[in-house]
Amino acid sequence: AEDQLRQSQKMEAVGHLTGGVAHDFNNLLQVVLGNLEILKRHLPSDALRLRRATENAMTGANRAAVLTQRLLAFSRRQPLAPQALDLNRLLSGMSDLLSRTLGETIQIETVLAGGLWRVEVDPNQLENAILNLAVNARDAMPNGGKLTIETANSHLDGAYIAANSDAIAGQYVVICVTDTGSGMAPETLERVFEPFFTTKEVGKGTGLGLSMVYGFVKQSGGYVKLYSETNEGTTVKIYLPRLLGDVAPELTPSIEDITGEA
Ligand code: ADP
């Protein structure tokens, strides 16, 4: 629990620092993009080289903007548009995108709980987060494997909270994303939420995927838990608080009770 506390204090400090820079940087990029847009609009249609150069500059600036948005997500300074959501429906809607992302060698299994509580989160950001997890899973399974996505209702009780200082007791909906990939060594596992931490080669990873997931989920009032075993695989669990004042679903919910696991 003490480790967890130290870790979350460190994240807090890094997030504070990163957020300020990312925010200003993003504003400057928007100025660049806005002006490139004007430039492009006023270029004669036969000025092909100039058009191509302008478009290349816009592509670069857009990529940089995506990076700053992940940093903003990590530092919890991202404007969110939360909505009451059925996560099962959101995940079903992503199935084409997910199978395209994972390719033919990775099998996808989806286990959606009946009677799932609703949550209130930003659907675009949540899709982004899940896509990030899928990309990581794909990268961890270069020779194929299996990705499982599960949903469940979950009560977090006092004992669990005692072991996880940054969690708040209550009702959550949990999304578990499990792969049968390379897994992570303990040294890696300790650092994955840090922005820019990556074990991937230059140009392949930015080290911002899990940072974004972490920040977004925290900003949404939830939290992320990781379980990983080298050569076995990895499970990422995203806990999102149940929508306040939600009406009870008709079906009996399948409840994943958590009691004091460390
Ligand atoms: P990136 O994917 O750009 O490296 P992330 O923040 O998403 O950035 O991940 C950081 C690191 O965590 C990865 O470089 C990898 O070492 C490790 N990692 C993340 N997800 C998984 C996974 N599902 N299996 C194995 N390792 C993972």
Which atom of ligand 1 is the closest one to the Cα of 208? 6
Query: From CA 44, how far away is CA 171, in angstroms rounded?
Result: 59
Tell me, using a 6 A CB cutoff, whether residue 194 lines ligand 1.
Answer: no
Which atom of ligand 1 is the closest one to the Cα of 207? 8
Which residue puts its alpha carbon closest to atom 19 of ligand 1?
A: 136
State the pLDDT at residue 76.
86
- Residue 83 parent element (H or E): strand 83-85
Collapsed DSSP state (helix, strand, coil) of residue 151: strand
Which atom of ligand 1 is the closest one to the Cα of 233? 24
Tell me, using a 6 A CB cutoff, whether residue 235 lines ligand 1.
Answer: no
pTM, whole model, 2 decimals? 0.86
CA distances in angstroms from 161 to 10, 12, 158, 164, listed in the order given: 20, 19, 5, 5
Collapsed DSSP state (helix, strand, coil) of residue 250: coil
State the pLDDT at residue 261.
43
For strands 233-241 and 170-179, give the pairing.
antiparallel
Tell me, using a 6 A CB cutoff, whether residue 199 lines ligand 1.
Answer: yes
State the pLDDT at residue 114.
94
State the pLDDT at residue 231.
96
Asked if 128 and 74 count as a contact pair (C-beta separation under 8 A), the reply is no
Tell me, using a 6 A CB cutoff, whether residue 136 lines ligand 1.
Answer: yes
Tokens 């990029």 found at: 29
Tell me, using a 6 A CB cutoff, whether residue 211 lines ligand 1.
Answer: yes
Q: Using the mean position of ligand 1's atoms as its centre, give its distance from the Cα of residue 207 in Å.
A: 7
Sign of CA dihedral 15, 9, 128, 250: negative
Please calculate the CA angle 56-57-60 and round it to the nearest 5 degrees.
Answer: 85
DSSP string, 181-215: S----HHHHHHTTSTT---SPTTT--S-HHHHHHH
Tokens 């392949």 found at: 204
State the pLDDT at residue 139.
97
Q: How many Cα atoms occupy the beta-carbon half-sphere of 3 within 13 Å?
A: 4
Q: Using the mean position of ligand 1's atoms as its centre, give its distance from the Cα of residue 29 in Å.
A: 27
Per-residue pLDDT of the chain (262 residues; tens, 9 = 90+): 677 777 778 888 888 888 889 999 999 999 999 999 999 999 998 999 999 999 999 999 999 999 999 999 899 888 899 999 999 999 999 999 999 999 999 999 999 999 999 999 999 999 999 999 999 999 999 999 999 999 999 988 776 666 666 778 889 999 999 999 999 999 999 999 999 999 999 888 889 999 999 999 999 999 999 999 999 999 999 999 999 887 765 555 556 655 544 3
Which residue puts its alpha carbon closest to atom 21 of ligand 1?
A: 136
Which atom of ligand 1 is the closest one to the Cα of 212? 6
